[in-house]
Chain A
């Protein structure tokens, strides 16, 4: 396994004070928190920062890490020496790092069974419950509702127009009979109703955690996310399409063919249209009881002037039109 340089992860020196570590962690956590930073890789970086902070903020763990890690560099092959942790006490709550996200390196150093969920997060059906540290329900009564799970489903915009069925592979951590967390994988076939919008959720009752002591099972919430589309962008229920048009189509007015997520349509471009002008196709957005609209945004594209014939047309326009596009700039 790879050695992880936790000091490097936080960008602090090996002799950094507890305050330095906290400051560096706070700053990086704000920068990479997946609720704030949507860039690919931000979540992985956030977990790395969190893991580094879990170790370095705790004097005992930091000392253990320093002892075993002296002389290693990030990415180097690492194997903990036998009996390395002699003299350190590993309680049940030795670590807060999320059981699902801890690196192998972290596990080797601070143990597998001893880990606690920090409030599961991430793309899979998450585990927010079942582990120690969960505040979700009381375990004093013998009957309890199972926790809810969340997962994301990627669909295409076209699926929102027509509805679809998706086979989803979900992984979740469950507490086994031996008291240790296990990965459980299951497949669900889910109907995606027509008219869903980006960010909406679908609740599947009873598909979350099993209940305790005969209590009802929790629910599974699927959050809808649209794959980025090469043609359309989506805002709520409205859909936008940039439609290239030739200068003469915009100037003279023409009927043109335009794609929509529901199939191609003929569209009347009115005479005298400008670039950036929006044509609204009412009710052609994402369907619903009040459907969204489809906005076609005209983009006037100049024909390439390669070849003598085209050059000649441009020269003629220059001579005959007496057009100064900068007339309004006072120059």
Chain B
């Protein structure tokens, strides 16, 4: 966890402004594979299994043309982690991710991030 030191940066330090990744941001297969530190084929496989979906207007035969919504970065990284660390089969991965996302949405609705509260 990045530790929060103070609200104001120390004097003389440059303040970096990044790009906010939201639903309007589009990312490529290349960006996903760098972000997840995996080969591009792993990302393509996730798309072929329906775990990740390119945005509607960018569905194409060529993976180079695909563009994904910004949230796909997190979904792809999680998919890769679940594959690697829990050996979840790619055919079950989409279901697992969907269920996890549903649980998170419901938890935020009841205002709790920890289970059993």
Report yes or no: B18 in contact with A204, Cβ–Cβ below 8 A.
yes
Query: How distant is B1 from chain A, measured CB to nearest CB, in Å?
Result: 4
Q: B82 near A33 (CB under 8 angstroms)?
A: yes
Contacts of A50 in B (CB 8 A): 85
Contact check, A170 vs B2: say whether CB atoms are below 8 A apart.
Answer: yes
Cross-interface CB contact of B3 among A147, A169, A205, cutoff 8 Å: A169
Q: Are B21 and A145 in contact (CB under 8 A)?
A: no
Task: Evaluate contact between B2 and A191: CB separation under 8 angstroms.
Answer: no
Interface code B101-117, partner A: CB below 8 Å = 1, 0 otherwise?
Answer: 00001011101011110
Task: Judge whether A51 is part of the interface by a CB distance below 8 angstroms.
Answer: no
B14 at the interface (CB under 8 A from A): yes
Contact between chains at B81 and A135 (CB < 8 Å):
no
Shortest distance in angstroms between A49's beta carbon and chain B's nearest beta carbon?
10
Residue of B nearest to A242 (CB): B111
Task: Check A165 for interface membership: any CB of B closer than 8 A.
Answer: yes
Residue A152 at the chain B interface, CB threshold 8 Å: yes
B contact face: mostly helix, strand, loop, or mixed: mixed
Residue ID in chain B nearest A240 by CB atoms: B111
Say yes or no: B8 contacts A165, CB within 8 Å: yes
One of B2, B74, B115 near A151 (C-beta < 8 A): B2
Known: A151-B2, A190-B18, A234-B108. A164 touches B37 (CB 8 A): no
Residue of A nearest to B13 (CB): A189
- In the bound complex, what is the Cα–Cα distance between A170 and B37 (angstroms)? 19
Residues of B within 8 A of A40 (CB): 114
Q: A167-B10, A233-B108 are in contact. Are A123 and B1 (CB under 8 A)?
A: yes
B86 within 8 A of A: yes
**By the criterion CB–CB under 8 Å, are B7 and A164 in contact?**
yes
Interface size, chain A (Cβ < 8 Å): 66
Q: Does the CB pair B115–A198 fall under 8 Å?
A: no
B48 close to chain A: CB less than 8 A: no
Please name the residue on chain B nearest to A206 by beta carbon.
B16
For B1, list chain A residues within 8 Å (CB): 123-124, 151-152, 154
- Does the CB pair B35–A221 fall under 8 Å? yes
Closest to B8 in A: A165
Is A77 in contact with chain B by the CB < 8 A criterion?
Answer: no
> Are B108 and A153 in contact, CB atoms less than 8 angstroms apart?
no
Contact digits for A202-223, partner B, Cβ 8 Å, 1 yes 0 no: 1111010000000000101111
Q: How far is the CB of B12 from chain A (nearest CB, A)?
A: 10
Q: How many whole Å from A261's CB to the nearest CB in chain B?
A: 15
Between-chain CB contacts (< 8 Å), 18 pairs: A26-B87, A35-B100, A135-B38, A136-B34, A166-B4, A166-B5, A167-B5, A167-B8, A169-B3, A170-B2, A187-B10, A189-B14, A200-B20, A202-B18, A202-B19, A204-B16, A233-B109, A235-B109
A residues touching B (Cβ–Cβ < 8 Å)? 26, 29-30, 33, 35-40, 50, 118-119, 121, 123-125, 128-129, 134-137, 145, 147-148, 150-154, 164-170, 187-191, 193, 195-205, 207, 218, 220-223, 228, 233-235, 240
Question: A-B pairs with the 7 shortest C-beta distances?
Answer: A189-B9, A128-B37, A123-B1, A233-B111, A136-B37, A202-B18, A204-B18
